[in-house]
Amino acid sequence: MNAAKRKEIFRRLHEDNPEPKTELAYSSPFELLIAVILSAQATDVGVNKATAKLYPVANTPEAIYALGVEGLSEYIKTIGLFNSKAKNVIETCRLLIERHGSQVPQTREELEALPGVGRKTANVVLNTAFRQLTMAVDTHIFRVSNRTGIAPGKNVQEVEKQLMKFVPKEFLLDAHHWLILHGRYVCQARKPRCGSCRIEDLCEYKHKTSDD
């Protein structure tokens, strides 16, 4: 895919949604960090239902740590893998209190040192909470990048590298939100909704569908 096509794709995505946002509900970097940890192999809707009950009761490292694993599990038991996630969140809260003055760190290295935080989670927090130029490649972004031809790659690291290189600089800060939303609602896994797609004429996917 050439640079002109990529620029027009992101120009249209920007035109349709000038200020894209994550669908996870949060009101602080800490709330976002916990929501993203909980969102692994779970839906944003499911995470939001759990945090809507949790955050009014506990939304600081100290308050969640005080709940303990069992106490936290009660709030998040509707989310997949809640037992291991509860352990990771409690340990993350302990480390935030002990090492970071209860603040969410703003470097990838420090974030990835927290339990339950991998590269993708760190990139989401850095981009969404701190507005750093990072690219969090999830299954939606991996699929859209390969299917459209925007940034093909064999694995998430390759796609991340390609996107950071090829997405026009003026669109890079919000690109991961546009790509996630496009993958979630239009360029879906089983059957992409090509007939409703804003960028169908620019997309290089060879097996386009109708919306019938």
Q: Which of 90, 92, 96, 93 is nearest to 76 (CA)?
A: 90
Q: How many CB atoms lie within 10 A of CB 52?
A: 11
194 DSSP 8-state letter: G
Q: Indicate the residue type of 65.
A: Y
Residue of 5, 7, 87, 120 with catalytic role = 120
To the query of whether residue 138 is one of the catalytic residues in this protein, the response is yes
Q: Which of 39, 106, 30, 112 is nearest to 76 (CA)?
A: 39
Distance between CA atoms of residues 212 and 194, nearest Å: 10
Q: Which of 28, 93, 88, 37 is nearest to 61 (CA)?
A: 93
CB 134 within 8 A of CB 173: no
The answer to whether 187 is annotated as binding is yes
Q: Indicate the residue type of 204.
A: E
Distance between CA atoms of residues 22 and 20, nearest Å: 7
- Retrieve residue 84's tokens: 């291991």
To the query of whether residue 165 is one of the catalytic residues in this protein, the response is no
The answer to whether 93 is annotated as binding is no
- Retrieve residue 33's tokens: 């960090």
Residue of 138, 174, 208, 212 with catalytic role = 138
Residues at the binding site for [4Fe-4S] cluster are: 187, 194, 197, 203
Residues at the binding site are: 187, 194, 197, 203
Catalytic residues: 120, 138
